[in-house]
């Protein structure tokens, strides 16, 4: 019977055939151990000279790395393997013999690995990261569906930008100008006024000229938007959501977290509620810590976020940033209009900001005033202002960066390994 490595537990003591690639092998005179991979997992195939034809045994000893083949054998329990099973091979059939594989077990530099990203994805580590990424996406959809949100897609080509214009990718749209989306948020507000609670999941593009371990040029965002919800209610959704995702990964990616040698005690404590500090308190905290490079009115840099995160053992919300340094649509705090009803969620262990969110301005007059201040007139923004004229309601939303979240949960140092084909300042290949 044909099966996959992920399904061998359904065929214990049965003979199965699996399509695989050879990941690695060891052999001695009478036995060959084949590390086999099919995408659904890794399994060891044991080829005993006595159990197969002479031809098959010779073949197994000479297999090159990444050769594709069909292996047939009996599934037996094996407590020593991470999977819990191994395959006692009775036959094998080569599909294609691989030529010399460039990624050998020796250490390679980052540039070399990035140039071979299309092959590097086959490694156990990259395999584990992609599986965790998938689980984060899967549990995200599960969480928001469970909470009654509707998944809505925002456009990627737009005539307007939610944030500044300097990091925008510009393109021609026939005779008009268009930009690649930096955030689906403005559209999600329109969707929330139609469907109540919505979320989008899509690619976003930022021509970030900075080279940091946290910034990609193309990355994916999850952007929920909720009608009839204020800032505080939105923070509760955020902490419940992030806890749900972390606990889902702990539950469903045990093998992968083991491969990545992730410190599970760091993840196990990620449960709502999360601590909150105000921006003003954060500035004071940093000054007390001896930072003299930041004042009230400045945005945080990576070292600041790391210092704040280190003072907490869970993700921490920094709330009430100065209106001046945040986006035009954020609602000012009625008790102190110099600050906005907004928050950044900072991940533990130095991974930085994973969520930015706020309550949005719902008052037509105030939004019209903001348009003047920010010179946002023109047809590209007309529709967004109009949303405040037809049954405007308090509403809030946030954006979670998928790759930042993958980096944090997997414990990977650099964001470039959290997306299949990263787009970086100097990289568009492969
Ligand atoms: P940062 O301060 O780290 O540059 P930001 O405040 O510019 O982030 P937002 O506009 O608030 O980011 O976007 C929402 C989320 O998207 C962020 O909290 C982060 O998780 C993620 N994000 C932003 N920029 C990038 C990027 N260049 N690469 C990967 N993820 C990003
Ligand atoms: Mg930024
Ligand atoms: Mg930020
Ligand atoms: Mg932000």
State how many domains the chain has. Answer: 2
| 399 Cα–ligand 1 center, Å | 8
Ligand number, closest to the Cα atom of 206: 1
pLDDT for position 105? 80
Closest CA to 12 of 94, 92, 83: 83
416 Cβ closer than 6 Å to some ligand 1 atom: no
As a whole number, the mean pLDDT across the chain is 96
pLDDT band at 164 (very low <50, low <70, confident <90, very high): low
Residues 50 and 121 placed together within one structural domain of the fold:
no
pLDDT(73) > 90:
yes
What's the start-to-end Cα distance of the chain, in Å? 37
The CA distance from 30 to 22, in Å, is 19
Residue 44: CB atoms within 10 A of its CB come to 22
Q: Give the pLDDT of residue 352.
A: 97
198 and 88 in a common domain: no
Judgement on whether residues 152 and 35 belong to the same structural domain of the protein: no
311: left (phi over 0), alpha (psi -120 to 50) or beta: alpha
pLDDT in tens, 100-122: 999 988 889 999 999 999 999 99
Indicate whether 257 pLDDT > 90.
yes
Residue 157 lies in a domain: yes
Residues 73 and 145 occupy one common structural domain: no
Judgement on whether residues 46 and 140 belong to the same structural domain of the protein:
no
* Model pLDDT, residue 163: 60
Residue 356 C-alpha to ligand 3 middle, in angstroms? Answer: 7
Radius of gyration, CA atoms only, the chain? 26
Which has the higher per-residue pLDDT, 41 or 160? 41
For residue 12, give the nearest of 20, 28, 1, 27 by alpha carbon.
1
Residue 169 burial (C-beta neighbours within 10 Å; 0-12, 13-18, 19+): middle
> Do 84 and 122 sit in the same domain of this protein?
no
Domain for residue 427, yes or no?
no
Residue with tokens 């005779």: 175
Residue percentage of the chain with pLDDT more than 90: 93
Q: pLDDT digits over 321-359, tens only?
A: 999 999 999 999 999 999 999 999 999 999 999 999 999
Angle at 91 between CA 88 and CA 96, to 5 degrees: 115
Q: CA dist 233 to 275, 357, 420, Å?
A: 15, 12, 34
Q: Which of 399, 415, 423 to mutate to test the pocket of ligand 1 (most atoms within 8 A of CB)?
A: 399
- Tens digits of per-residue pLDDT, 25-50? 999 889 999 999 999 999 999 999 99
Closest-CA residue to 274 (of 224, 332, 343): 343
Instruction: State whether 17 and 153 are in the same domain.
Output: no
Q: Is residue 426 part of a domain?
A: no
User: Which position has the higher pLDDT, 346 or 166?
Assistant: 346
Same domain, 140 and 249: yes
> Average of pLDDT values for 268-287?
98
The whole-angstrom separation of Cα 395 and Cα 147 is 16
pLDDT at 161 over 70: no
Using most ligand atoms within 8 A of CB, pick from 133, 165, 214 the residue to mutate for ligand 1.
Answer: 214
Same structural domain, 248 and 370: yes
What average pLDDT does range 56-77 have in this prediction? 97
Q: Residues 85, 8: contact at Cβ < 8 Å?
A: yes
> Which tens digits make up the pLDDT trace of 366-410?
999 999 998 887 788 899 999 999 999 999 999 999 999 999 999
CATH code, domain with 28: 2.40.50.140
Report the SS3 class of residue 418: helix
Q: Is residue 38 part of a domain?
A: yes
* 194 and 283 fall within a common domain: yes
Which H helix or E strand runs over 318?
strand 316-319
Confidence at 211, pLDDT banded by 50, 70, 90: confident
Domain containing residue 216: 117-418
Domain end call among 65, 96, 127: 96
CA of 348 to the centre of ligand 3 (A): 15
Q: Are residues 323 and 376 in the same domain?
A: yes
Q: Does the C-beta of 208 come closer than 6 Å to ligand 1?
A: yes
Are 377 and 414 within one domain? yes
């Amino acid at each position: 019977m044909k099966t996959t490595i992920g399904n061998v537990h359904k065929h214990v003591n049965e003979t199965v055939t699996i399509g695989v690639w050879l990941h690695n092998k060891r052999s001695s005179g009478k036995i060959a151990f084949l590390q086999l991979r099919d995408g659904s997992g890794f399994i060891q195939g044991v080829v005993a000279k006595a159990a197969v034809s002479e031809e098959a045994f010779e073949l197994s000893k000479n297999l090159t790395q990444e050769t594709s083949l069909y292996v047939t054998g009996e599934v037996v329990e094996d407590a020593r393997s991470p999977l819990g099973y191994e395959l006692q091979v009775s036959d094998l059939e080569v599909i294609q013999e691989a030529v010399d594989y460039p990624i050998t077990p020796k250490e390679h530099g980052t540039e070399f690995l990035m140039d071979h990203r299309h092959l590097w994805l086959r490694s156990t580590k990259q395999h584990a990261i992609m599986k965790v990424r998938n689980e984060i996406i899967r549990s995200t959809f599960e969480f928001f569906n469970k909470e009654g949100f509707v998944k809505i897609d925002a456009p990627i080509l737009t005539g307007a930008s939610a944030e500044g214009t300097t990091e925008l990718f510009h393109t021609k749209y026939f005779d008009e100008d268009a930009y690649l989306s930096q955030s689906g948020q403005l559209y999600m507000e329109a969707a929330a006024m139609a469907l109540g609670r919505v979320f989008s999941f899509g690619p976003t593009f930022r021509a970030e000229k900075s080279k940091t371990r946290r910034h990609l040029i193309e990355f994916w965002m999850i952007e929920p938007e909720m009608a009839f919800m204020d800032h505080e209610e939105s923070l509760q959704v955020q902490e419940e959501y992030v806890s749900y995702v972390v606990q889902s990964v702990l539950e469903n990616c045990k093998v992968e977290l083991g491969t990545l040698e992730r410190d599970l005690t760091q993840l196990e404590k990620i449960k709502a509620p999360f601590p909150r500090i105000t921006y003003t308190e954060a500035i004071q905290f940093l000054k007390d810590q001896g930072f003299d490079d930041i004042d009230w009115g400045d945005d945080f840099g990576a070292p600041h976020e790391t210092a704040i995160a280190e003072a907490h053992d869970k993700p921490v919300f920094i709330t009430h940033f100065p209106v001046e340094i945040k986006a035009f649509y954020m609602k000012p705090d009625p008790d102190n209009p110099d600050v906005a009803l907004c928050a950044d969620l900072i991940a533990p262990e130095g991974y930085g900001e994973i969520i930015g969110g706020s309550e949005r301005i719902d008052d037509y007059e105030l939004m019209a005033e903001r348009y003047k201040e920010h010179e946002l007139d023109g047809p590209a923004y007309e529709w967004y202002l109009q949303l405040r004229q037809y049954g405007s309601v308090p509403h809030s939303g946030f954006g979670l960066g998928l790759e930042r979240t993958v980096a944090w949960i997997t414990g990977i140092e650099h964001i470039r390994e959290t997306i299949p084909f990263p787009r970086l300042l100097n990289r568009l290949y492969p």
